[in-house]
Amino acid sequence: MIHHPIPPIYDENSKILILGSFPSVKSRDQQFFYGHPQNRFWKVLAAVFDCPVPQTVDEKKELLLRNKIALWDVINSCEITGSADSSIKDAVPNDLGEIFSVADIKQIYVNGKTAEKYYNKYMKERYGREAVCMPSTSPANASWTLDRLVGAWRIIK
């Protein structure tokens, strides 16, 4: 069983919550979200909010909080082979109550179909909130160009 090593990013001003599934090997190594250089998450957010692509963890946190975004993952622990979402077994969800108790979250977005699947399975009924499924920024979602992703993700603004 692998446990999620990265704490959520949020503050009392967060209005949007973006949830991934579970951090990749690269992200777990770096101890921060979307750490794989081929993942387009940070490029997409930078384009949506018309700012430079953040390079450091501090710059990434600043981009999120400046734009009232909370960021975490649906899964707290699971069995997973490498970074393959398709290999996730025995998933245990995170407790979003910690974020909801501090921030007035107006909308929840999930990054890709795996995050949507586990959100709907473990969280939708528990929290009584729908999540909007966004196209995954993962390099595995190769049919989506960066421009197409940016266009779709603009709704978070």
Residues that are catalytic: 39
Which helix (DSSP H) or strand (DSSP E) does residue 20 occupy? strand 16-20
58 residue type, one letter: D
N- to C-terminal Cα distance for the chain? 36
Question: Please, are residues 96 and 72 in contact by the beta-carbon 8 Å criterion?
Answer: yes
3-state secondary structure of 72: strand
